[in-house]
Structure 1
């Protein structure tokens, strides 16, 4: 048994849910979380992302540039979605690939992170089933 944690962009929540269902995942949980990844040190990529974010904010938002600079320099956290999935060992590669396909973008940054961890046990509350049967 494995636990898969997938941290994805908020706007990829629906695509991720659809990908998980299509991959045959029996169930999953999603949380709203805040975080940030590794800072990008390529000035061209930072400038490109800032321009795109400024365009989305519009001219009528007076604090937009300050907020965007805070995101890009690591002082502010980005809203993200955290999916948790319990999976049988043999299903993990298929699930991970489905998550990657649903979340890969052309932005070169911020597409998310997938963490796979061993699971010691799981118990289904309703029936008392444990281990692989509970997944």
Structure 2
């Protein structure tokens, strides 16, 4: 028995939920979290994001310099980002199928920020309603 923890972009929540259901996952939990990943130093990744955000900045509310400062702190990983954390319990043989489904709907061409998946062993699980334990408790 394994626990799969998947951290994904907030706007990928619906697609991830559908992919898990299509992959045959019996149940899962999703919670809002915030965090940050590894610092991206590649200007080829950062500059297109910066340019797009600068175009979206409300210049009539704050000046361009202040907008740029806010965008740079957003892009240099000094801020925490909102994400969704999915927790799934699965039989060992189902893990590859579930992980592949999560990757398929969350991979982008942005080069950063697509998320992380952790797979850990689970010693036991108990279904509260029936008292069933082990594999019977997760499906």
Distance in 2 (CA, whole Å) between partners of 1:60 and 1:125 is: 56
1:102-133 Cα offsets, whole Å, 9 max, x none, are 10111111000000000111110000010111
Which residue of structure 2 aligns with residue 74 of structure 1? 77
Which residue of structure 1 aligns with residue 22 of structure 2? 22
Map 1:29-44 onto structure 2 (within 5 A): 29-44=29-44
1:105 aligns with 2:89: no
Distance in 2 (CA, whole Å) between partners of 1:127 and 1:96 is: 29
User: Structure 1 regions of 5+ residues with no counterpart?
Assistant: none
Scaled by the length of structure 1, what TM-score is found?
Answer: 0.93
User: Structure 2 regions of 5+ residues with no counterpart?
Assistant: none
Distance in 2 (CA, whole Å) between partners of 1:61 and 1:108 is: 31
Could you list the runs of 4 or more consecutive aligned residues of structure 1 that deviate by over 2 angstroms after TM superposition?
52-68
Residues paired across the two proteins, number:
135
Distance in 2 (CA, whole Å) between partners of 1:133 and 1:36 is: 36
Distance in 2 (CA, whole Å) between partners of 1:20 and 1:48 is: 32
